[in-house]
Amino acid sequence: MTLTGHSLIAGQPVVGSGRTAFGFNPATNESLEPAYTLITEDQLTTATSAAAAAYPSFSALDPETHAGFLEAIAGNIEAIGDELIIRAGQETGLPAARLQGERARTTGQLRLFANVVRQGDFRGVRIDPALPERTPLPRADIRQRQIPLGPVAVFGASNFPLAFSTAGGDTASALAAGCPVVFKAHNAHPGTSELVGQAIVQAVKDAGLHPGVFSLIYGPGASIGQALVADPAIKAVGFTGSQNAGIALMRTAAARPEPIPVYAEMSSLNPVFVFDGALKGDVDALAQQYVTAVTGSSGQLCTSPGLLFAPEGELGDKLAAAVGRAVSACAGQTMLTEGIAGSWNAGAEALGSADGVTVVGQGTQGPTKNAPAPTIFGTGVKEFVANHVLHQEIFGAASLVIRYGSVQDLIAATNRLEGQLTASLQLTEEDFPTAAQLLPALEQKVGRIIVNGWPTGVEVGHAMVHGGPFPATSDTRTTSVGTLAINRFLRPVAYQNLPQELLPAALRDTNPWQLNRRIDGTVEAAADAKDKVNA
């Protein structure tokens, strides 16, 4: 596929009227061709207007056409082949195996949402049939369904050039909901974004859909990103990135004449709690698993464990020593950008110079300038509770081991935490009574609780929650991973006493889309719903 260096607006390459920008190879800091032209705010309205024009037809697609469209995107991405992996590797420094796995996750979640569309439960159909003989007052016929919010702005993430990017989870769930998408590419991997954007545009064309269903734009976040969120055609926002950028978008969305929801996944320390029983086994293996979770992908994962609570005393001493040995054998990996590597260095320096903080172990500098040495720091639980500096996320291969004396220490530390994506418990059966005391506090702070596992590696499925209280996410009620993510881009509408001829297909007595529906409060399978309504 040929890279144009231009935005793709309503199916057409559009030369930006602003300045130009390049992707960079973080291993060498060298620019990559082609140069990308950045659009202006005037050009942005072409994309948002096209999305608004596409909404009426796209939001009303029948399930089979809709699902086939999502599957076509997945197939087109796979058809790009090695070219996609090579370009993504050049722009991010991530190894091919990691990117191949990320591509599989991207196409897999598109196909998962295609299944969701075919099944149709996300439409939330509820029917309360009329009760004209009810006393003292009759009941009207009331039917409810979930409808798409409208055009959605999606922002690409720096650390996932595929799975949280052009056709990633936010885009996939918004398209599955029936919402057109205006996608702002992350400037760190413009070529990767364009390749995937071309695959989506081709799927739109092949399905005969309105070209405004998808647009890919390039531009500065401080201007084009803010203008995109402020545009009146946009009805919701999906974002994965830094806390500062996420909050800036939230403020813009809230200040609009019509405020809109921003679903932002921003920051997390993902604490790990190690109990005594877990340290009576293979401590070296446990330490290695922890260090692997900290250093994988150079620690540039929103689920990287930034905190580990280990007990005081001999067992905790053995774990700390094992962690020091494990991390000392690690070399730094090239980070996504020069700026991210610089931020890591500043964060690690601030943490290392804080009162009561020591170095548990440190690896070696990697082969490039942007590959800092992985470092594990250490402190006590009292210092952690008292010093907010120790609660700051360091995006990269760094973590803090905190020594505690009792479960009350853990509860106090948990209560001081901000909202998190995950918490992990390393334990055995003998630790169950102690862990049970901690769980109620964790439920108030995190979106996912893990036992004898690590937070990295987020399964894409029906039960997954990738979210949590602020600032892990901007809306603690939602998830950005898994099929429940579709709910972010829907809203309920009730239809009272509408004739069958005026009802949407999902609500008609004939149930032409064969949906499972809740009839008078009881969930009924598609085969039974028609009989119940006609009874």
The predicted model scores a pTM of 0.95
Check whether 73 has a pLDDT greater than 90.
Answer: yes
Please compute, for residue 366, the number of CA atoms within 13 A of its CA located in the half-sphere on the CB side. 23
pLDDT above 70 for 168:
yes
Round to whole Å and give the CA distance between 141 and 503. 12
Backbone angles phi, psi at 184, to 5 degrees: -95, 115
Which residues lie closer than 8 Å to 179 by C-beta, 6 or more apart? 55, 58, 59, 148, 149, 150, 151, 152, 235, 236, 489
Among the listed residues 228, 239, 220, the one whose alpha carbon sits nearest the alpha carbon of residue 37? 220
Q: Which two tokens stand for residue 173?
A: 């769930």
Residue-wise pLDDT for 304-326, tens only, equals 999 999 999 999 999 999 999 99
Closest by CA position to 344, among listed 155, 158, 135: 158
Same fold, 16-131+147-266+481-487 and 272-451: no
| Per-residue pLDDT tens over the stretch 91-138 | 999 999 999 999 999 999 999 999 999 999 999 999 999 999 999 999
In 3D space, the residue among 393, 324, 316, 397 whose CA is nearest the CA of residue 362 turns out to be: 324
- Mean pLDDT score of the chain, rounded to an integer? 96
Residue (of 324, 311, 322) closest to 282 by Cα position:
322
Tokens of 226: 């803010």
Cα separation, 167 vs 190, in Å, equals: 13
Q: What is the pLDDT of residues 462-488, one digit of tens each?
A: 999 999 999 999 999 999 999 999 999
Tell me the C-alpha distance between 37 and 16, whole Å: 5
Q: Is the peptide bond before 136 cis (omega within 30 degrees of 0)?
A: yes
> In the CATH hierarchy, which top-level class contains the domain 272-451?
alpha beta
* β-bridge pairing 358-362 and 375-380: antiparallel
Q: Among residues 91, 194, 302, 418, which one is catalytic?
A: 302
Burial 302-327 (b: 16+ CB within 10 A, else e): bbbbbbbbbbeeebbebbbebbbebb
**What is the band of 533 on the pLDDT scale with cuts at 50, 70, 90?**
very low
- Which of 182, 176, 214 is closest to 67 using CA atoms? 176
d(CA 161, CA 151): 22
C-alpha distance across the termini of the chain, in Å:
57
Fold category of 16-131+147-266+481-487 in CATH: Aldehyde Dehydrogenase; Chain A, domain 1 (3.40.605)
| 260 closest CA partner among 174, 161, 159 | 174
Give the number of C-alpha atoms closer than 13 A to the C-alpha of residue 494, restricted to the C-beta side: 9
Q: Say how far apart CA 458 and CA 424 lie, in whole Å.
A: 13
pLDDT for 173 equals 98
What pLDDT does 528 receive?
64
pLDDT value at residue 51: 98
* Percent of residues in the chain assigned helix, strand, coil, to nearest 5: 45, 20, 35
Angle of helix 63-80 relative to helix 169-177, nearest 10 degrees?
160
- In order of 1, 165, 303, the CA distances from 289 in angstroms are 40, 28, 14
Q: Are 103 and 80 in contact (CB under 8 A)?
A: no
Classify 316 in phi/psi space as left (phi over 0), alpha (psi -120 to 50) or beta: alpha
Confidence of residue 531 (pLDDT cuts 50, 70, 90): low
Q: Tell me the average pLDDT across 395-423.
A: 98
To the query of whether residue 330 is one of the catalytic residues in this protein, the response is: no
Angle made by CA atoms 277, 280, 283, in degrees to the nearest 5: 115
Q: Is 314 a catalytic residue?
A: no
With contact defined as beta carbons under 8 Å apart, do 33 and 236 qualify? no
Give the pair of three-digit tokens for residue 171. Answer: 């885009």
Q: Of 316, 353, 36, 9, nearest to 192 (Cα)?
A: 36
Looking at residue 492, what is its pLDDT? 98
Query: In terms of residues, how long is the chain?
Result: 535
- Please state the domain extents for the chain: 16-131+147-266+481-487, 272-451, 494-534
| pLDDT-based confidence at residue 331 (cuts at 50, 70, 90) | very high
Interior angle at CA 259, CA 165 and CA 243, nearest 5: 45
pLDDT tens digits along 216-236 = 999 998 899 999 999 999 999
- Whole-number pLDDT of residue 430: 97
- Asked if residue 1 has pLDDT above 90, the reply is no
